[in-house]
């Protein structure tokens, strides 16, 4: 029997956990899999081993491991595969298929543009977009963000610049400094994050301190668990179902 195990990141903010659960539960309503469970990488329960155990206990013979994460970094390439390898030893009769995260996709760019447009400020030649990612030491994250920047600029936006909240350069503060130095009057700060939480609150405070001159820093909403993300997650699961045996337990780049 087939199962899907959805893996969220986890958060110290209860609202973030609740938001993730609501989104995944809504995805479960449209998924045809007979067994579906939710777990988290960290900071929330159940963890991955418990999520796998629950799938097996319910009669799963094949488990699609579906990360509910934006990009492929350390969690995707190391942490989750390590848990799958352990589970494969514990449950040798179970087939594990490792699915894609959301990745870089046109539907996510649609959401980014929507987050800018919903601010009600017309985007013009005197505006600038600062893309803010969580950050990672994995160099692929910067490559992905460069692609995201180009895709955003391909939607009629004159200038976009990526920066990161941690573990990568330029930092968020450096990004704000760069944006300020450009002289653009409107600077749209667009968080490439799934949900509001501690990081968003810190960004709000930093931007309030910057909004004291003739430039306007406009903090957009995070991506949130948008309907288009729900559609993309369903697509990732369907792709995994179609994958062949040689692709099991591997990350599809």
Domains of the chain plus CATH, in order, are 2-102+226-247 (3.40.50.1400), 106-219 (3.40.50.1400)
Convert the pLDDT of each residue in 186-227 to its tens digit.
899 999 998 767 778 888 888 988 887 778 899 999 998 899
Q: In the prediction, which pLDDT does 158 show?
A: 80
| pLDDT tens over the chain, length 253 residues | 999 999 998 887 888 888 899 999 999 998 989 999 999 998 889 999 999 999 999 999 999 999 999 998 878 999 999 999 999 999 999 999 999 999 999 999 999 999 998 887 666 666 799 999 998 989 999 999 999 999 999 888 888 999 999 989 999 999 999 998 988 888 999 999 987 677 788 888 889 888 877 788 999 999 988 999 999 999 999 998 887 444 544 433 3
Q: CA nearest 188: which of 118, 129, 103, 101?
A: 129
Q: CA nearest 252: which of 144, 82, 97?
A: 97
Q: CA nearest 155: which of 110, 94, 119?
A: 110
Q: CA nearest 250: which of 100, 145, 86, 147?
A: 100
Question: The pTM is what?
Answer: 0.88
Q: In the prediction, which pLDDT does 91 show?
A: 97
Give pairs for 104-108: CB < 8 Å, separation 24+: 104/71, 104/144, 104/147, 104/148, 104/151, 105/232, 106/151, 107/228, 107/229, 107/231, 107/232, 108/70, 108/148, 108/223, 108/228, 108/229, 108/232
Q: In the prediction, which pLDDT does 48 show?
A: 97
Q: CA nearest 8: which of 213, 245, 197?
A: 197
Task: Say how far apart CA 142 and CA 168 lie, in whole Å.
Answer: 8
């Amino acid at each position: 029997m087939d199962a899907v195990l959805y893996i969220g990141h986890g958060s110290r903010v209860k609202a973030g956990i609740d938001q993730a659960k609501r989104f995944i539960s809504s995805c479960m309503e449209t998924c045809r899999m007979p067994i579906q469970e939710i777990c988290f990488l960290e900071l929330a329960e159940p963890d991955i081993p418990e999520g796998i155990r629950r799938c097996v206990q319910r009669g799963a013979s094949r488990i699609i491991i579906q990360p509910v994460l934006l990009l492929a970094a350390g969690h995707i390439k190391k942490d989750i595969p390590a848990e799958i390898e352990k589970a494969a030893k514990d449950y040798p009769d179970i087939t594990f298929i490792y699915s894609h995260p959301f990745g870089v996709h046109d539907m996510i760019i649609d959401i980014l543009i929507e987050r800018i447009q919903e601010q009600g400020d017309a985007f013009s030649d005197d505006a600038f977009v600062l893309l803010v990612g969580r950050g990672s030491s994995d160099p692929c994250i910067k490559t992905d963000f460069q692609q995201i920047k180009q895709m955003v600029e391909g939607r009629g936006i004159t200038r976009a610049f990526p920066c990161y909240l941690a573990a990568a350069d330029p930092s968020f503060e450096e990004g704000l400094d760069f944006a300020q130095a450009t002289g653009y009057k409107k600077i749209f700060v667009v968080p490439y994050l799934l949900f509001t939480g501690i990081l968003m609150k810190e960004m709000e405070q930093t931007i309030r301190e910057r909004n004291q001159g003739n430039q306007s820093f406009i903090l957009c909403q995070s991506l949130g668990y948008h309907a288009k993300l729900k559609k993309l997650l369903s697509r990732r699961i369907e792709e995994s179902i179609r994958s062949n045996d040689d692709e099991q337990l591997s990350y599809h780049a």
